[in-house]
Amino acid sequence: MHVAEEQRLRPQFSGPDPVTPRAPAPEIEHLLRRAGFGARADELEFYGEMSIPQAVDYLVNYEQVPDDVDSKIGTLGYAGITTRAPGFLPVSSIVDARQRWLFRMVHTNRPLQEKMTLFWHNHFATGYNKIAGIYGNTEGARYLAAKASEDPGNVRGQVEMLRDNALGNFRDMLVNIAKDTAMLVWLDGRTNTRAKPQENFGREIMELFTRGVGYYTESDVYAAARVFTGWNLARPGTGTAQHYEYLYVAGQHDTGEKTFSFPIYSNGSRTIPARAAAAGEQDGIDLINALAGAPETARYLAKKLYWFFVSDTRAPAQSFVDSIANVYLQSRYDMRAVMRAVLLSTEFWEPRAYFARYAWPVEFIVRAMKDVGWRGFSVDTARTSMSAMGMDLYEPPDVAGWDAGETWFSTGAMLSRMNFASGLAANQRNNLVTAARPNAGTPERLVSFFLNEMRTAPLAGGVQQDLVDYLRATGNWTGSDAQLNQKAPALAHLITGSVEYQFV
Amino acid sequence: MKVTRRQFVKGGVAAFSVTFAAPEFLSDLARAQGAHTRNLIVLNLSGGMDILSFLVPYQDANYYSRRPTLAIPAANVLQIGTDASGVALGLHPRLTGVKQIFDTGRLAFVQRTGYANQTRSHFLGTDIWSTADPNNSQALGWVGRYLDALPSPVDPLVGWNTSGSLPHVLQANKVAVPAIPSPTTYAFQSPNGTGTEGQAEKAAAIRMASHIPIDRPEVAFVYSSAQAAMATLDRVATVGTYVSSVTYPNTGFGQALKAVAGAMFRGIGTKVFYVTTGGFDNHSNQGVNPANGAFYGLMASLNDGLLAFHTDLKNQGMLEDTLLVTFSEFSRRISENGSTGTDHGAATIMMVLGGRVNGGLIGTAPNLNLDPKNPTLENNAADVTFETDFRSVYARIIDNWLGTSSVSLLGADFRKPSLTFI
């Protein structure tokens, strides 16, 4: 490996100076914990040169950064993947798709794109099992995770679509999702016909994707189901290119008028007019336009963004909701403008917002890899551990997404986090010993060094002393390599598995 | 969103942290509080189970006309008799084990349970069944409130959640119910193994978890989990080695029930268990009749798990100490949809199983005729309307099994004298 690359990619633990505070301000780390998945050493260095507004601009305008992270998979210096026969195939194996996404989260230079993709995946939560149960495992992975460039039928999976539009226009996103193959299977739109309207998608697009519960009625659900009648699937192509894709089937569309409890058109009309079957696809577009433009949707999204990016331990101020909702409506649903406003908001930068969010399993795992090290560590190990913590990518528990916040922290899940930390620290033993060696003069100094490298919420009184006591627990402190060989990974384990590390 | 619920949990953490028992007292507490005493198992059938495919009114012509492809042929149902309204009922053909339990008289079906203006939302519906309060879906869970009312200090293993995350029904102010999906992987690991160094590290982890910053409720909440995890490891390990008297199905549901039986057998002090099994949201290709159908498979899993559990408990002499009650957020629409599935409906059935249950068909089945004025139906005769408030079932269990006052726990008097299943 070239020395330059080695330097750029080094895990944080290779710093030569004992207990030197890292250059970037805590602000940058806060920003990267939220707008990304924590910070590698090279990220800290890079963003550390910028002011906060510059860093936010750089994060939201990620198109200027090459999207080359996938090309790093399987190369030296990066986290490993685990290959199974017949090969690493994220286009058709959900296990490999999960590995690829985790790899991207660790190594991307477009952290906000991956973070937003996770946000959307949770928002339009679609689960692999149902699709795989109907069309088979390879097709299930395909409709969720295939990149068009790697699929023989140019299929772009749902999460790739979300990734491509991560900071795009929300209205366009809704149109895409309504026509998305995986969604048409997941919420049964593929079987939504004139004779027997299917309510599943019609309900959830209002309850979970836009307006929110309480802002639609049961008769709106029936009307919405009728609106999307005929939004079904076709199966074009032959051989390996054959695939399911959206098709508007005019003959299956209910052509009657549909009346809602809320305005559909700018003149205040609540009724989508009767239309000829051939023109009936417009019904769905009209409803989506109305849902995207509703102030209820703007506020619903503002709150959801607050929970995800700012804090899930206290409620958003009405002023935050109003201000973000206003940016959303004024910009005509431009998520880049919205996210820029979120990341520059007063609420985001309040001292009490720091570490005010329970880390999701995927955030915990990726950050731990960035802090402790990744070389020789397979993201597949991370994948299986995450499952025990209650989270499988591409498999949210239901269409409402993951029940985040304190519900991540059942006892079993907390143990799984501690045990992941143990496995990772054991795996990185040599790196950790190397990093610890110059800082091993006293147990106090070594603990300070580790805590400086791995940021946590402020430790409860006594915890730091517990760590020091542990270093002295099994014999006099010498700081020898033999001692560090046991103590350094154990220390990384205890800190990564500590309560205070479970916040971002 | 779960905002308000979070506020409740936050508000309770301080209380939790001061009433939590120190680990050294736990085994005594366990013995005092629960070993070989009554157990309650709350089973959530998640997704909205289709009752008309579970318990079939096989002589109702409207059942067949409204479900042209999904109806179970009368000849295939497992007949279990006639209810108080004279409706003949039969179980799904795959429920042979459930019928076997029913025939012993230890299984009750409370028909048409629900509440007024029942929501068709999965999430709101589950919240309401969990809080037992249709007007406050963000309240603490009804089982959580029961645990909160137990005398302090409460043993952290007083409840056992077999799912990965905390269900709303167990949300409490003072008690953090541990989630233990698998007792065999519920263990502390160290990079240095299980020798002296690993033990020293485990001791350090226990000490670290013993601090609780009560001025930061969200941090204290995670502390309570870490502390409960460390405090329960050793007792849970004994459950991992439980040898059952029957082989449980190798499904998540079957293994969860095996863990429940193991915990009861080891007498580790648990009083309340939560088990969930899902997949009931059958909007399309419901597959009621074919052996490879989705709903048929759900019935197989339910049946085989319950039968193994019932047999094991009976063999181990624990059935008398056991009460299992089910809930599902709603049942499904009476008429099938165009996707050979069913959409969200209203009133459902609650099952109650246990060694002291007075089994049978309780309440009356709906009449499925399409008259909009049909009193057993609602929503223009599209959905089944409730006859027994679900809280009346909870009330009976609270009063006659848990031995505390349902009026105070549920905040109102839902007792229904005709409900005598326990």
* Predicted pLDDT at B152: 81
Interface contact B200, partner A, CB < 8 A: yes
Average pLDDT, stretch B6-28? Answer: 39
| pLDDT tens digits along B157-176 | 899 999 877 889 998 887 87
Query: Cα–Cα distance between A272 and A58 in angstroms, integer?
Result: 42
Please give, rounded to a whole number of angstroms, the shortest distance from the CA of A2 to a CA of chain B: 31
Please give, rounded to a whole number of angstroms, the shortest distance from the CA of A489 to a CA of chain B: 6
* Predicted pLDDT at B224: 87
Q: Which residues of B touch A390 (CB under 8 A)?
A: 164-165
Nearest to B156 by CA among B42, B44, B266, B236: B236
In sequence order, what are the residues at sequence separation of 6 or more whose Cβ sits closer than 8 angstroms to the Cβ of residue A40?
A9, A11, A12, A106, A107, A370
Whether residue B192 and residue A304 make contact (CB cut-off 8 A), yes or no, is no
Give the A:B interface size as CB pairs under 8 Å: 206
Q: Which amino acid is at A46?
A: F
Interface contact B6, partner A, CB < 8 A: yes
Q: Which amino acid is at A52?
A: I
Q: Interface pTM (ipTM) of the complex?
A: 0.91
Interface contact B298, partner A, CB < 8 A: no
Q: Which residues of A touch B338 (CB under 8 A)?
A: 191-193, 195-198
Whether residue A470 and residue B204 make contact (CB cut-off 8 A), yes or no, is yes
| Helix, coil or strand: residue B56 | strand
Least confident of A28-42, B8-22, B395-409: B8-22
In whole numbers, what is the pLDDT of chain B averaged over residues? 90
Question: pLDDT category, B276, cuts 50, 70, 90?
Answer: very high
Please give, rounded to a whole number of angstroms, the shortest distance from the CA of A64 to a CA of chain B: 35
Higher pLDDT, B252 or B15: B252
Average pLDDT, stretch B265-291? Answer: 94
Output the DSSP codes for B190-209: -TTTTSHHHHHHHHHHHHHH
Return the structure tokens found at B38.
């009554």
In angstroms, how far is the first alpha carbon of chain A from the final one? 33
* Predicted pLDDT at A53: 93
Angle between helices A281-293 and A170-178 (to 10 degrees): 140
Least confident of B36-40, B198-202, B311-315: B36-40
Average pLDDT, stretch B78-82? Answer: 98
* Predicted pLDDT at B137: 85
How far from chain centre, in Å, is Cα B352? 10
Say which DSSP state A334 is in: B
Sign of torsion over alpha carbons B239, B245, B249, B254: negative
Whether residue A388 and residue B185 make contact (CB cut-off 8 A), yes or no, is yes
Residue A404 exposure: Cα atoms within 13 Å on the Cβ side: 27
* Predicted pLDDT at A16: 35
Please give, rounded to a whole number of angstroms, the shortest distance from the CA of A396 to a CA of chain B: 13
* Predicted pLDDT at B121: 87
- Percent of chain B at pLDDT exceeding 90: 76
Please give, rounded to a whole number of angstroms, the shortest distance from the CA of A466 to a CA of chain B: 6
| pLDDT tens digits along A175-220 | 999 999 999 999 999 999 999 899 999 999 999 999 999 999 999 9
* Predicted pLDDT at A403: 86
Q: What is the residue extent of each domain of chain B?
A: 3-410
Burial (CB < 10 A; 0-12, 13-18, 19+), residue A276, is exposed
Which residue is closest to A199 within chain B, CA to CA? B343
Which residue positions in chain A have pLDDT lower than 50? Answer: 1-23
In sequence order, what are the residues at sequence separation of 6 or more whose Cβ sits closer than 8 angstroms to the Cβ of residue B285?
A134, B293, B294, B339, B340, B341
pLDDT value at B21 more than 60:
no
Average pLDDT, stretch B314-332? Answer: 96
Q: Which residues of A touch B10 (CB under 8 A)?
A: 313
Asked if A133 contacts B287 with a C-beta cutoff of 8 angstroms, the reply is: no
* Predicted pLDDT at B173: 81
Q: Which residues of A touch B235 (CB under 8 A)?
A: none
| pLDDT tens digits along B90-141 | 999 999 999 999 999 999 999 999 999 999 988 889 999 999 999 888 889 9
Q: Which residues of B touch A389 (CB under 8 A)?
A: 164
* Predicted pLDDT at A5: 33
Asked if B43 contacts B253 with a C-beta cutoff of 8 angstroms, the reply is: no
List the 113-172 stretch of B: residues with Cβ below 8 A of A: 120-124, 156, 161, 164-166
* Predicted pLDDT at B14: 32
In this structure, how many other beta carbons lie within 10 angstroms of the beta carbon of residue A449?
A: 23
* Predicted pLDDT at A24: 52
Which residue is closest to B294 within chain A, CA to CA? A133
CA distances from B371 to B36, B220, B368 (A): 52, 56, 9
Report the run of H or E that residue A132 belongs to, with start and end.
Answer: helix A128-135
pLDDT value at B64 more than 60:
yes
Beta-bridge mates of residue A271: A259
Query: Cα–Cα distance between A412 and B113 in angstroms, integer?
Result: 33
| Helix, coil or strand: residue B4 | helix
Which residue is closest to B338 within chain A, CA to CA? A196
Return the structure tokens found at A465.
């002393």
Query: Cα–Cα distance between B118 and B337 in angstroms, integer?
Result: 20
| pLDDT tens digits along B171-217 | 888 787 888 888 988 889 999 998 999 999 999 999 999 998 889 99
Asked if B232 contacts B157 with a C-beta cutoff of 8 angstroms, the reply is: yes
Whether residue A203 and residue B344 make contact (CB cut-off 8 A), yes or no, is yes
Average pLDDT, stretch B387-409? Answer: 97
Q: Which residues of A touch B188 (CB under 8 A)?
A: 415, 418-419
Question: pLDDT category, B2, cuts 50, 70, 90?
Answer: very low
